[in-house]
Structure 1
Amino acid sequence: MASVSSESLAKALESLEPKLALATVDLSKELFAVLEVLDANSGLRRALTDPAREAAEKEALLASLLRGKVSADAEQTLKQLASTRWSSERDISDALETLAVTSVAAVAEQQANKAGLDKLQKDLFDFIEVVSASHELQAALTDAQAPAEAKAALALKLVPGASAPAQLLLRQAAIAPRGLKPVRLVERFMDLVAKRQQRWIAHIISSRPLAESQVQRLETSLNKLYGRDLKINVSIDPALVGGLVVKVGDDIVDASVASRVAELRRSLAG
Structure 2
Amino acid sequence: MKYPFLISIPHGGTEIPEEVAGRFALLPEEISWYCDPATKILFDFGHRVESSIDTPISRMVIDLNRPPLPLPPRDPDGIIKVRTVDGRQVYLPGRLPDMDLIHQLMLKWYFPYHQRIDELIDHYPIHIAFDCHSMLPYGSTEQSDAGKCRPLICLGNYGDEAGKAKPGSLTTCPPGWIALLADIFREEFKGKDEVAMNVPFSGGFISNAHYWRKGIPWIQIEINRKLYEIQDIHARQPVTREDQVLELREKIWRILTRFWDKIADNK
What TM-score, normalized by structure 1, do the two folds share?
Answer: 0.29
Structure number with larger C-alpha Rg: 1
More strand by share: 2
More helix by share: 1
